[in-house]
Amino acid sequence: MKFFVDTADINDIKDLAATGLLDGVTTNPSLVAKSGRNFVELIKEICTVVDGPVSAEVASVDYETMLEEGKYLATLAPNVAVKVPLTEAGLKVCKYLSGKGTMVNVTLCFSSAQALLAAKAGATFVSPFVGRLDDIGQDGMGLIEEICHMYQAQPDLKTQVLVASVRHPRHVVDAAKMGAHVATCPPAIIRQLFGHPLTDKGLAQFVADWAKTGQKILK
């Protein structure tokens, strides 16, 4: 499974890219607003840091303007994935851009029917929002499971399931077990994946015991 980071913070992106474990980046208008950065300059910079797909979201909701925005965003770097909302207009844009060879991430997916349409529109990625479904008492991971099964039953559909709105490491592990292709996580969740209290405790013990030996591995 691929790991994307869901942020517009360039320092977090650089830091996580340095681990060698980062496969891509997703941004959205809320994250860009939080960053205070110029959107186009930011996307160009992210695309120099990360080789994998970098999602850049259109801002308009009508077909014509969305299409022009999408075409423009696609010129910023070869690894831009144009992000469009899961609306009729968004899927029309998706169909057009994917037909031209542009990567498209269809976002704000909350149902399997929507995911089926995104795949038929040629989306590279579909982004079901698990946390926001959980927030309203629905089953976010249940949706991921159904979409994964649905795509597996229809091998002609090539869209990758990109699990978004991730709230905790369990979402990531469960998504991997279900066969989801990608999880996009806030930086804090990716860092949480590394940790376990017993790892910290065990390491502290090893460090203390090693000191008792008085030895050094490197001269």
Restricting to residues 172-191, name those near ligand G3P by CB under 6 A.
Answer: 184
* Sole binder of ligand G3P in the list 92, 120, 132, 191 (CB under 6 A): 132
CB of 129 to ligand G3P, least distance (A): 6
* Sole binder of ligand G3P in the list 164, 172, 182, 189 (CB under 6 A): 164
* Sole binder of ligand G3P in the list 131, 142, 169, 179 (CB under 6 A): 131
Q: Which is nearer to ligand G3P, 138 or 205 (CB)?
A: 138
2 binds ligand G3P (CB under 6 A): no
Residue 211: alpha-carbon gap to chain centroid: 42
* Sole binder of ligand G3P in the list 5, 6, 70, 125 (CB under 6 A): 6
Q: Which is nearer to ligand G3P, 5 or 17 (CB)?
A: 5
3-state secondary structure string across the chain: CEEEEECCCHHHHHHHHCCCCCCEEECCHHHHHHHCCCHHHHHHHHHHHCCCCEEEECCCCCHHHHHHHHHHHHCCCCCEEEEEECCHHHHHHHHHHHHCCCEEEEEEECCHHHHHHHHHCCCCEEEEEHHHHHHCCCCHHHHHHHHHHHHHHCCCCCCEEEEECCCCHHHHHHHHHHCCCEEEECHHHHHHHHCCHHHHHHHHHHHHHHHHHCCCCCC
Structure-block tokens of residue 80: 């831009």
Contacts with ligand G3P by CB under 6 A: the residue count is: 9
Q: Which is nearer to ligand G3P, 39 or 129 (CB)?
A: 129
- Residue 201 annotated to the active site: no
Q: What's the one-letter identity of residue 208?
A: A
11-19, 39-47, 129-137, 142-150 -> range binding ligand G3P (CB under 6 A): 129-137
110 binds ligand G3P (CB under 6 A): no
Residues recognised as catalytic: 83
Residues in the site for ligand G3P, rule: CB under 6 A? 6, 26, 28, 129, 131-132, 164-165, 184
